[in-house]
Amino acid sequence: MITVIAGIVMLGILVFIHELGHFCVAKLCGVKVLKFSLGFGPRLVSRTWGETEYMICAVPLGGYVQMLGEGGGEEGEAAATKLSPEERMRSFDAQSVGRRTAIIAAGPAMNLLLPFIVLPITYLVGVNLPAYFERPACVGYVVAESAGDRAGFLAGDCISTLNQDEIGTWSDGNRELITHIGTPLNFTVERGRELLTLTIPAEEGSLEGLQSLGLLPWQEPIIGMVAPGMPAQTAGMEVGDRIVSIEGAPVDSWYDLRRLIQKRGGAAQTFTVEREERLIDLSVKPVREEVNGTDYLVGVAPMQETVFKRFGLIDSIKAGANRTVELVKLTIVFIQKLFAGHVSTDNIGGPITVVQIAGQAAQTDLAAILTVLAFLSIQLGILNLLPIPILDGGHLFFNLYEVVARRPMSLRAREIAQQVGLMLILMLMILAFYNDIVRLFVGMQ
Protein backbone atom coordinates (compact mmCIF):
# COMPACT_ATOMS: atom_id res chain seq x y z
CA MET A 1 0.00 0.00 0.00
CA ILE A 2 2.88 2.38 0.83
CA THR A 3 4.42 1.61 -2.55
CA VAL A 4 1.18 2.33 -4.43
CA ILE A 5 0.45 5.56 -2.55
CA ALA A 6 4.04 6.80 -2.93
CA GLY A 7 4.01 5.99 -6.64
CA ILE A 8 0.74 7.82 -7.25
CA VAL A 9 1.93 10.85 -5.27
CA MET A 10 5.20 11.02 -7.20
CA LEU A 11 3.43 10.60 -10.53
CA GLY A 12 0.99 13.32 -9.46
CA ILE A 13 3.87 15.69 -8.69
CA LEU A 14 5.37 15.15 -12.14
CA VAL A 15 2.03 15.69 -13.88
CA PHE A 16 1.34 18.78 -11.78
CA ILE A 17 4.72 20.30 -12.67
CA HIS A 18 4.13 19.55 -16.36
CA GLU A 19 0.64 21.03 -16.49
CA LEU A 20 1.72 23.98 -14.34
CA GLY A 21 4.14 24.92 -17.11
CA HIS A 22 1.36 25.04 -19.70
CA PHE A 23 -0.91 26.90 -17.26
CA CYS A 24 1.56 29.62 -16.23
CA VAL A 25 2.74 30.46 -19.75
CA ALA A 26 -0.85 30.47 -21.01
CA LYS A 27 -1.76 32.97 -18.29
CA LEU A 28 1.28 35.10 -19.12
CA CYS A 29 0.15 35.17 -22.76
CA GLY A 30 -3.34 36.26 -21.70
CA VAL A 31 -5.02 33.00 -22.74
CA LYS A 32 -8.14 32.02 -20.78
CA VAL A 33 -7.66 28.66 -19.03
CA LEU A 34 -10.95 26.81 -18.58
CA LYS A 35 -9.80 23.67 -16.75
CA PHE A 36 -6.71 22.45 -14.87
CA SER A 37 -6.98 18.72 -14.20
CA LEU A 38 -4.79 16.16 -12.47
CA GLY A 39 -5.88 12.80 -13.83
CA PHE A 40 -8.61 11.78 -16.24
CA GLY A 41 -12.11 10.42 -15.98
CA PRO A 42 -14.74 11.16 -13.33
CA ARG A 43 -14.10 14.14 -11.05
CA LEU A 44 -13.16 13.34 -7.47
CA VAL A 45 -12.61 16.93 -6.37
CA SER A 46 -13.58 20.07 -8.28
CA ARG A 47 -13.48 23.75 -7.40
CA THR A 48 -13.62 26.93 -9.46
CA TRP A 49 -11.36 29.88 -8.65
CA GLY A 50 -11.69 32.86 -10.92
CA GLU A 51 -12.23 31.72 -14.49
CA THR A 52 -10.59 28.28 -14.09
CA GLU A 53 -12.01 25.01 -12.79
CA TYR A 54 -9.40 22.97 -10.87
CA MET A 55 -10.00 19.20 -10.71
CA ILE A 56 -8.58 15.96 -9.40
CA CYS A 57 -9.93 13.01 -11.38
CA ALA A 58 -10.18 9.28 -10.77
CA VAL A 59 -7.50 7.97 -13.18
CA PRO A 60 -4.10 9.28 -11.97
CA LEU A 61 -2.22 8.61 -15.21
CA GLY A 62 -1.83 12.12 -16.54
CA GLY A 63 -3.62 15.44 -16.64
CA TYR A 64 -4.50 18.32 -18.88
CA VAL A 65 -4.98 22.07 -19.17
CA GLN A 66 -7.94 23.08 -21.35
CA MET A 67 -7.72 26.55 -22.83
CA LEU A 68 -10.33 28.63 -24.58
CA GLY A 69 -10.33 27.87 -28.30
CA GLU A 70 -8.39 24.62 -27.89
CA GLY A 71 -9.86 21.28 -28.92
CA GLY A 72 -13.50 20.42 -29.49
CA GLY A 73 -16.57 20.95 -27.41
CA GLU A 74 -18.79 23.95 -27.04
CA GLU A 75 -15.97 25.88 -25.44
CA GLY A 76 -13.45 24.83 -28.04
CA GLU A 77 -12.85 25.52 -31.70
CA ALA A 78 -16.42 24.61 -32.63
CA ALA A 79 -17.68 27.58 -30.61
CA ALA A 80 -14.91 29.97 -31.64
CA THR A 81 -17.18 31.86 -34.01
CA LYS A 82 -19.62 32.53 -31.14
CA LEU A 83 -17.02 34.29 -29.03
CA SER A 84 -17.03 38.04 -28.61
CA PRO A 85 -14.03 39.92 -30.06
CA GLU A 86 -12.60 40.32 -26.53
CA GLU A 87 -12.99 36.61 -25.78
CA ARG A 88 -11.60 35.70 -29.18
CA MET A 89 -8.41 37.58 -28.39
CA ARG A 90 -7.99 35.39 -25.30
CA SER A 91 -8.42 32.06 -27.11
CA PHE A 92 -5.47 29.75 -27.69
CA ASP A 93 -5.87 29.48 -31.44
CA ALA A 94 -5.92 33.29 -31.82
CA GLN A 95 -2.36 33.57 -30.46
CA SER A 96 0.70 33.94 -32.66
CA VAL A 97 2.60 30.78 -33.54
CA GLY A 98 5.40 31.93 -31.24
CA ARG A 99 3.08 32.22 -28.23
CA ARG A 100 1.40 28.91 -28.97
CA THR A 101 4.81 27.27 -29.22
CA ALA A 102 5.84 28.74 -25.87
CA ILE A 103 2.67 27.46 -24.19
CA ILE A 104 3.08 23.97 -25.61
CA ALA A 105 6.82 23.74 -24.87
CA ALA A 106 6.38 24.97 -21.29
CA GLY A 107 5.15 21.59 -20.01
CA PRO A 108 8.18 19.51 -21.07
CA ALA A 109 10.45 22.44 -20.19
CA MET A 110 9.18 22.38 -16.59
CA ASN A 111 9.88 18.64 -16.37
CA LEU A 112 13.42 19.21 -17.64
CA LEU A 113 13.91 22.16 -15.30
CA LEU A 114 12.78 20.28 -12.16
CA PRO A 115 15.96 18.11 -11.88
CA PHE A 116 18.12 21.24 -11.90
CA ILE A 117 16.30 22.14 -8.67
CA VAL A 118 15.89 18.81 -6.86
CA LEU A 119 19.24 17.18 -7.66
CA PRO A 120 21.27 20.01 -6.08
CA ILE A 121 19.11 19.53 -2.96
CA THR A 122 20.02 15.83 -3.08
CA TYR A 123 23.74 16.60 -3.06
CA LEU A 124 23.23 19.27 -0.42
CA VAL A 125 21.55 16.90 2.08
CA GLY A 126 23.96 14.12 1.13
CA VAL A 127 23.74 10.80 -0.71
CA ASN A 128 24.83 7.26 0.09
CA LEU A 129 26.54 5.66 -2.90
CA PRO A 130 27.99 2.15 -3.25
CA ALA A 131 31.69 2.55 -2.61
CA TYR A 132 32.69 0.59 -5.71
CA PHE A 133 30.98 3.14 -8.00
CA GLU A 134 33.89 5.55 -7.62
CA ARG A 135 36.63 2.92 -7.56
CA PRO A 136 38.58 1.58 -10.56
CA ALA A 137 36.52 -0.84 -12.66
CA CYS A 138 38.38 -3.94 -11.49
CA VAL A 139 36.53 -7.25 -11.75
CA GLY A 140 36.15 -9.21 -8.53
CA TYR A 141 34.25 -12.14 -9.98
CA VAL A 142 33.08 -13.40 -13.39
CA VAL A 143 29.77 -15.25 -13.52
CA ALA A 144 30.14 -18.61 -15.27
CA GLU A 145 28.71 -18.77 -18.82
CA SER A 146 27.99 -15.02 -18.84
CA ALA A 147 28.89 -12.65 -21.67
CA GLY A 148 31.96 -11.58 -19.73
CA ASP A 149 33.02 -15.19 -19.18
CA ARG A 150 32.65 -16.01 -22.89
CA ALA A 151 34.73 -12.92 -23.75
CA GLY A 152 37.57 -14.18 -21.56
CA PHE A 153 37.36 -11.90 -18.52
CA LEU A 154 39.03 -13.11 -15.33
CA ALA A 155 38.79 -11.97 -11.73
CA GLY A 156 41.39 -9.25 -11.20
CA ASP A 157 41.05 -7.72 -14.67
CA CYS A 158 40.85 -3.90 -14.56
CA ILE A 159 38.99 -2.18 -17.41
CA SER A 160 40.83 0.84 -18.80
CA THR A 161 38.88 1.62 -22.00
CA LEU A 162 35.63 0.68 -23.73
CA ASN A 163 35.64 1.28 -27.50
CA GLN A 164 38.59 3.63 -26.90
CA ASP A 165 36.67 5.73 -24.34
CA GLU A 166 38.56 5.94 -21.06
CA ILE A 167 37.05 4.07 -18.09
CA GLY A 168 38.27 5.49 -14.80
CA THR A 169 35.64 4.07 -12.44
CA TRP A 170 32.90 1.47 -12.29
CA SER A 171 30.35 4.26 -12.89
CA ASP A 172 32.17 5.23 -16.09
CA GLY A 173 31.85 1.66 -17.34
CA ASN A 174 28.11 1.53 -16.63
CA ARG A 175 27.56 4.86 -18.38
CA GLU A 176 29.61 3.98 -21.47
CA LEU A 177 27.75 0.69 -21.88
CA ILE A 178 24.58 2.65 -22.67
CA THR A 179 26.41 4.88 -25.14
CA HIS A 180 27.82 1.91 -27.06
CA ILE A 181 24.80 -0.40 -26.95
CA GLY A 182 24.17 -1.96 -30.34
CA THR A 183 27.86 -2.08 -31.27
CA PRO A 184 30.59 -4.63 -30.41
CA LEU A 185 32.06 -3.82 -27.01
CA ASN A 186 35.87 -3.75 -27.22
CA PHE A 187 37.34 -3.63 -23.72
CA THR A 188 40.97 -2.90 -23.00
CA VAL A 189 41.84 -4.58 -19.71
CA GLU A 190 44.93 -4.65 -17.55
CA ARG A 191 45.83 -8.16 -16.43
CA GLY A 192 48.94 -8.05 -14.36
CA ARG A 193 51.47 -6.30 -16.58
CA GLU A 194 49.61 -7.11 -19.80
CA LEU A 195 47.11 -5.05 -21.80
CA LEU A 196 44.50 -7.23 -23.47
CA THR A 197 41.55 -6.51 -25.77
CA LEU A 198 38.40 -8.50 -24.96
CA THR A 199 35.30 -8.23 -27.14
CA ILE A 200 31.65 -8.79 -26.28
CA PRO A 201 29.37 -9.06 -29.36
CA ALA A 202 26.82 -6.30 -29.97
CA GLU A 203 23.86 -8.60 -29.32
CA GLU A 204 25.12 -9.33 -25.79
CA GLY A 205 25.39 -5.66 -24.75
CA SER A 206 23.24 -4.38 -21.92
CA LEU A 207 21.68 -1.23 -20.47
CA GLU A 208 21.94 -2.54 -16.93
CA GLY A 209 25.62 -2.10 -16.21
CA LEU A 210 28.73 -4.25 -16.08
CA GLN A 211 27.05 -6.63 -13.62
CA SER A 212 24.57 -7.66 -16.33
CA LEU A 213 27.56 -8.84 -18.41
CA GLY A 214 28.58 -11.11 -15.56
CA LEU A 215 31.32 -8.75 -14.33
CA LEU A 216 30.98 -8.14 -10.60
CA PRO A 217 32.96 -5.80 -8.34
CA TRP A 218 35.10 -7.10 -5.51
CA GLN A 219 32.96 -8.03 -2.52
CA GLU A 220 34.41 -8.68 0.94
CA PRO A 221 33.01 -11.82 2.67
CA ILE A 222 31.38 -9.72 5.41
CA ILE A 223 27.78 -10.39 6.45
CA GLY A 224 25.45 -7.41 5.99
CA MET A 225 22.12 -9.16 6.60
CA VAL A 226 20.98 -12.32 8.37
CA ALA A 227 17.56 -13.58 7.27
CA PRO A 228 15.16 -14.36 10.14
CA GLY A 229 14.46 -18.05 10.67
CA MET A 230 17.23 -19.19 8.31
CA PRO A 231 20.15 -21.50 9.25
CA ALA A 232 22.67 -18.65 9.62
CA GLN A 233 20.55 -16.97 12.31
CA THR A 234 19.94 -20.30 14.07
CA ALA A 235 23.69 -20.97 14.11
CA GLY A 236 24.39 -17.57 15.68
CA MET A 237 25.82 -15.58 12.77
CA GLU A 238 25.67 -11.79 13.18
CA VAL A 239 25.86 -8.74 10.94
CA GLY A 240 29.50 -7.70 10.65
CA ASP A 241 30.93 -11.21 10.87
CA ARG A 242 33.68 -11.89 8.33
CA ILE A 243 33.53 -15.42 6.94
CA VAL A 244 37.07 -16.77 7.01
CA SER A 245 36.55 -20.37 5.90
CA ILE A 246 33.96 -23.09 5.29
CA GLU A 247 35.00 -26.62 6.28
CA GLY A 248 38.59 -25.40 6.32
CA ALA A 249 38.48 -24.06 2.74
CA PRO A 250 39.50 -20.37 2.74
CA VAL A 251 36.94 -17.74 1.75
CA ASP A 252 38.71 -14.86 0.00
CA SER A 253 35.63 -13.09 -1.39
CA TRP A 254 31.86 -13.27 -1.02
CA TYR A 255 31.63 -15.10 -4.33
CA ASP A 256 33.41 -18.14 -2.83
CA LEU A 257 30.42 -18.80 -0.56
CA ARG A 258 28.02 -20.23 -3.13
CA ARG A 259 30.54 -22.69 -4.53
CA LEU A 260 31.60 -23.94 -1.11
CA ILE A 261 28.03 -24.17 0.25
CA GLN A 262 26.78 -26.15 -2.75
CA LYS A 263 29.79 -28.47 -2.60
CA ARG A 264 28.43 -30.37 0.44
CA GLY A 265 24.75 -30.00 -0.39
CA GLY A 266 22.50 -30.04 2.67
CA ALA A 267 25.10 -31.46 5.06
CA ALA A 268 26.03 -29.43 8.14
CA GLN A 269 29.14 -27.32 7.57
CA THR A 270 31.53 -25.52 9.89
CA PHE A 271 31.76 -21.80 9.18
CA THR A 272 34.69 -20.00 10.74
CA VAL A 273 33.92 -16.32 11.22
CA GLU A 274 35.95 -13.42 12.55
CA ARG A 275 34.11 -11.31 15.12
CA GLU A 276 35.82 -8.54 17.09
CA GLU A 277 39.26 -10.04 16.29
CA ARG A 278 38.16 -13.49 17.53
CA LEU A 279 37.69 -16.60 15.39
CA ILE A 280 34.45 -18.46 16.07
CA ASP A 281 33.35 -21.81 14.62
CA LEU A 282 29.64 -22.15 13.86
CA SER A 283 27.82 -25.24 12.60
CA VAL A 284 25.39 -24.36 9.83
CA LYS A 285 23.05 -26.78 8.03
CA PRO A 286 21.91 -25.24 4.71
CA VAL A 287 18.33 -25.63 3.51
CA ARG A 288 17.15 -26.32 -0.03
CA GLU A 289 15.96 -23.25 -1.98
CA GLU A 290 12.17 -23.44 -2.41
CA VAL A 291 11.64 -22.05 -5.94
CA ASN A 292 13.77 -24.35 -8.09
CA GLY A 293 14.97 -26.73 -5.38
CA THR A 294 18.51 -27.04 -6.75
CA ASP A 295 20.47 -24.60 -4.58
CA TYR A 296 21.18 -24.65 -0.86
CA LEU A 297 20.94 -21.48 1.21
CA VAL A 298 22.06 -20.35 4.66
CA GLY A 299 20.29 -16.97 4.69
CA VAL A 300 22.96 -14.27 4.56
CA ALA A 301 23.62 -11.28 2.29
CA PRO A 302 26.84 -9.28 1.86
CA MET A 303 27.54 -5.95 3.51
CA GLN A 304 27.42 -3.24 0.88
CA GLU A 305 30.07 -0.65 1.61
CA THR A 306 28.71 2.83 0.96
CA VAL A 307 30.20 6.30 0.85
CA PHE A 308 28.22 9.26 2.16
CA LYS A 309 28.83 12.36 0.06
CA ARG A 310 27.63 15.83 0.95
CA PHE A 311 28.43 19.01 -0.98
CA GLY A 312 28.41 22.71 -0.15
CA LEU A 313 25.86 24.99 -1.77
CA ILE A 314 27.89 25.95 -4.87
CA ASP A 315 29.31 22.46 -5.38
CA SER A 316 25.86 20.88 -4.97
CA ILE A 317 24.45 23.15 -7.68
CA LYS A 318 27.31 22.18 -10.02
CA ALA A 319 27.00 18.47 -9.22
CA GLY A 320 23.22 18.55 -9.63
CA ALA A 321 23.45 20.36 -12.97
CA ASN A 322 26.11 17.95 -14.25
CA ARG A 323 24.06 14.94 -13.19
CA THR A 324 20.95 16.38 -14.86
CA VAL A 325 22.78 16.90 -18.15
CA GLU A 326 24.17 13.38 -17.91
CA LEU A 327 20.71 11.87 -17.34
CA VAL A 328 19.27 13.86 -20.26
CA LYS A 329 22.02 12.55 -22.55
CA LEU A 330 21.52 8.96 -21.39
CA THR A 331 17.75 9.19 -21.93
CA ILE A 332 18.22 10.55 -25.46
CA VAL A 333 20.75 7.81 -26.25
CA PHE A 334 18.33 5.18 -24.93
CA ILE A 335 15.51 6.47 -27.17
CA GLN A 336 17.84 6.57 -30.19
CA LYS A 337 19.00 3.00 -29.54
CA LEU A 338 15.41 1.87 -29.02
CA PHE A 339 14.25 3.22 -32.39
CA ALA A 340 17.39 1.82 -34.05
CA GLY A 341 16.51 -1.64 -32.73
CA HIS A 342 19.64 -1.92 -30.58
CA VAL A 343 17.60 -1.97 -27.37
CA SER A 344 14.81 -4.46 -26.74
CA THR A 345 11.28 -3.15 -26.23
CA ASP A 346 11.29 -5.25 -23.05
CA ASN A 347 13.05 -2.28 -21.45
CA ILE A 348 9.93 -0.10 -21.82
CA GLY A 349 8.08 0.33 -18.54
CA GLY A 350 4.66 1.71 -17.75
CA PRO A 351 2.79 3.14 -14.76
CA ILE A 352 3.18 -0.04 -12.68
CA THR A 353 6.95 0.13 -13.02
CA VAL A 354 6.91 3.84 -12.16
CA VAL A 355 4.82 3.13 -9.05
CA GLN A 356 7.19 0.35 -7.98
CA ILE A 357 10.31 2.48 -8.44
CA ALA A 358 8.74 5.43 -6.64
CA GLY A 359 7.46 3.23 -3.82
CA GLN A 360 10.87 1.64 -3.25
CA ALA A 361 12.50 5.09 -3.17
CA ALA A 362 9.87 6.37 -0.71
CA GLN A 363 10.91 3.71 1.79
CA THR A 364 14.57 4.78 1.81
CA ASP A 365 15.57 8.42 2.26
CA LEU A 366 15.03 11.92 0.90
CA ALA A 367 18.01 11.71 -1.46
CA ALA A 368 16.64 8.56 -3.10
CA ILE A 369 13.17 10.09 -3.47
CA LEU A 370 14.51 13.25 -5.10
CA THR A 371 16.83 11.27 -7.39
CA VAL A 372 13.99 9.09 -8.67
CA LEU A 373 11.75 12.15 -9.04
CA ALA A 374 14.41 13.86 -11.17
CA PHE A 375 15.02 10.78 -13.29
CA LEU A 376 11.32 10.24 -14.02
CA SER A 377 10.80 13.95 -14.69
CA ILE A 378 13.54 13.92 -17.34
CA GLN A 379 12.00 10.89 -19.03
CA LEU A 380 8.54 12.47 -19.01
CA GLY A 381 9.88 15.73 -20.42
CA ILE A 382 11.85 14.14 -23.26
CA LEU A 383 9.14 11.65 -24.20
CA ASN A 384 6.62 14.49 -24.47
CA LEU A 385 8.91 16.22 -26.97
CA LEU A 386 8.80 13.31 -29.42
CA PRO A 387 7.15 14.47 -32.68
CA ILE A 388 4.11 12.25 -32.22
CA PRO A 389 0.66 13.85 -32.59
CA ILE A 390 -1.26 13.87 -29.29
CA LEU A 391 2.02 14.57 -27.45
CA ASP A 392 3.40 18.09 -27.00
CA GLY A 393 6.09 17.29 -29.55
CA GLY A 394 3.44 16.60 -32.16
CA HIS A 395 1.84 20.01 -31.60
CA LEU A 396 5.27 21.63 -31.80
CA PHE A 397 5.74 19.87 -35.15
CA PHE A 398 2.45 21.35 -36.40
CA ASN A 399 3.72 24.80 -35.38
CA LEU A 400 7.00 24.21 -37.18
CA TYR A 401 5.07 23.27 -40.32
CA GLU A 402 3.08 26.48 -39.99
CA VAL A 403 6.28 28.54 -39.78
CA VAL A 404 7.91 26.81 -42.76
CA ALA A 405 4.80 26.63 -44.99
CA ARG A 406 3.52 30.03 -43.80
CA ARG A 407 0.08 28.56 -43.28
CA PRO A 408 -1.44 26.15 -40.74
CA MET A 409 -1.69 22.47 -41.58
CA SER A 410 -5.17 21.62 -42.87
CA LEU A 411 -7.70 20.45 -40.35
CA ARG A 412 -8.09 17.13 -42.16
CA ALA A 413 -4.34 16.48 -42.16
CA ARG A 414 -4.17 17.28 -38.44
CA GLU A 415 -7.06 14.93 -37.69
CA ILE A 416 -5.41 12.07 -39.60
CA ALA A 417 -2.06 12.72 -37.90
CA GLN A 418 -3.70 12.78 -34.48
CA GLN A 419 -5.51 9.50 -35.19
CA VAL A 420 -2.20 7.90 -36.17
CA GLY A 421 -0.56 9.38 -33.10
CA LEU A 422 -3.34 8.07 -30.88
CA MET A 423 -2.87 4.56 -32.29
CA LEU A 424 0.88 4.75 -31.67
CA ILE A 425 0.35 5.90 -28.09
CA LEU A 426 -2.23 3.16 -27.46
CA MET A 427 0.16 0.53 -28.84
CA LEU A 428 2.95 1.90 -26.66
CA MET A 429 0.71 1.85 -23.59
CA ILE A 430 -0.35 -1.74 -24.27
CA LEU A 431 3.30 -2.78 -24.63
CA ALA A 432 4.27 -0.90 -21.45
CA PHE A 433 1.43 -2.47 -19.44
CA TYR A 434 2.32 -5.91 -20.82
CA ASN A 435 5.96 -5.49 -19.76
CA ASP A 436 4.82 -4.23 -16.35
CA ILE A 437 2.57 -7.25 -15.80
CA VAL A 438 5.27 -9.70 -16.93
CA ARG A 439 7.80 -8.11 -14.55
CA LEU A 440 5.23 -8.15 -11.73
CA PHE A 441 4.48 -11.85 -12.07
CA VAL A 442 8.10 -12.84 -12.66
CA GLY A 443 9.01 -10.94 -9.49
CA MET A 444 6.41 -12.91 -7.54
CA GLN A 445 7.90 -16.30 -8.41
Would you name the residues annotated as active-site residues? 19
E strand or H helix that includes residue 432: helix 411-444
Mark residue 79 as left, alpha or beta (left: phi above 0; alpha: psi -120 to 50; beta: remaining): alpha
Q: What is the dihedral of CA 438, 441, 443, 445, to 10 degrees?
A: -130
DSSP 8-state symbol, 439? H
Q: Got the DSSP string for 58-110?
A: EEEEEEEEEETTSSSSTTSGGGGGGS-HHHHHTSGGGS-HHHHHHHHHHHHHH
Pairing outcome for strands 249-250 and 269-275 = unpaired
Q: What end-to-end distance do the CA atoms of the chain give, in Å?
A: 20
Q: Which residues contact 325 (CB under 8 A, 6 or more apart)?
A: none
Distance, CA of 104 to CA of 383 (rounded, Å): 14
Distance, CA of 235 to CA of 254 (rounded, Å): 19
